[in-house]
Amino acid sequence: MIAVRVSMKVTREPLKRTPVALRFDTDGIETSPVRTDRTGLASFDLPPSSGKILVSGVERYEGRLAGEIAVELWSITQSGQDSLGQPGAFPSGSNAYPSMTTRAVQVGGRSISTDSEGYLVDPSDWSEDFARALARAEGLDLTAEHWEVIRFLRERFARAGMQATVRDMIAHFRKVWGRERGSNRYLHQIFPRGGPQKQGNRLAGLLRTKGEH
């Protein structure tokens, strides 16, 4: 049995009557869409395999297909390659001030302003493409682990209204990744330019944490 549970990332609201399909790696065959029930669950009476999950025709997951798999979306209209977050969940408007030193990050032909360290001037300009562009500028190749941290930081801010501390990150990722990879040392290793609280927040489109200079 393979089950897919689809919900909103921030509110945890289940997405009902949403078409879900599976595409298997072994033969490339795609199942007929199954609509989610009122709990956001779509079930397939199929043996475990590997492949992709498509929600409303868009790829949302790739990997092992077995048991129940959670697919969380930032918005119902989120594209397959981009995530702007939920409207209103993040601060918007320019944080620029007179004589502020800014620099530009080119994102899809658009110039996005950051401060001298790479923090967004307007947090509403964030997108996954911005994170990729800033990471390239900082010499960082984003992996699945980086994206897990970025999404954790954005979700935590949307829920609590404040940035996660390094202690929060360690507590969370020790549960998810285990003690070795969920350590302060490893988090600073994968975010070498300021650690997860600085470089992580920059890539997640969040502002400086209190006390930063």
Q: What is the CATH number of the domain that holds 24?
A: 2.60.40.10
Does position 161 have pLDDT exceeding 70, yes or no?
yes
pTM for this structure?
0.60
| 177 and 121 co-located in one domain | yes
Q: Which of 108, 128, 104, 127 is nearest to 116 (CA)?
A: 104
Q: Which residues pair with 24 in a beta bridge?
A: 51
pLDDT bucket at 76, cuts 50 / 70 / 90:
low
pLDDT classification of 91: cutoffs 50, 70, 90: low
**pLDDT reading at 84 higher than 60:** no
Residue 170 resides in a domain: yes
Domain span at 125: 102-203
Residues 123 and 181 in one domain: yes
Task: Give the mean pLDDT of 170-177.
Answer: 92
**Residue 110 shares a structural domain with residue 198:** yes
Q: State what percent of residues in the chain have pLDDT above 70.
A: 85
Following DSSP, what letter does each residue of 38-103 receive, concatenated? TTSEEEE----EEEEEEETTEEEEEEEE-EEEEEEESSTT--SS-----TTSS--S----TT--EE
Q: In this structure, are 111 and 55 located in the same domain?
A: no
Answer yes or no: do 118 and 66 share one domain: no
Report yes or no on 92 lying in a domain: no
Domain shared by 177 and 117, yes or no: yes
User: Are 68 and 108 contained in the same domain?
Assistant: no
Question: What is the rounded average pLDDT of the residues 151-163?
Answer: 83
Lowest-confidence pick of 69-83, 105-119, 180-194: 69-83
Indicate whether 213 belongs to any domain: no
Q: Which pLDDT band, with edges at 50, 70 and 90, does 92 fall under?
A: low
Distance from the Cα of residue 132 to its chain's centroid: 12
Say yes or no: 67 and 9 in one domain.
Answer: yes
111/192 same-domain check: yes
User: Tens of pLDDT along 110-146?
Assistant: 999 998 889 998 888 899 899 999 999 999 999 989 9
Residues 190 and 113 reside in one and the same domain: yes
Q: What pLDDT sits at residue 74? A: 61
pLDDT at 87: 44
* Predicted pLDDT of residue 86: 46
pLDDT of residue 140: 96
Number of domains observed in the structure of the chain: 2
Residue 10: predicted pLDDT: 60
pLDDT at residue 85 above 50? no
Residue that finishes a domain, picked among 52, 73, 94 = 73
Do 194 and 149 belong to one domain? yes
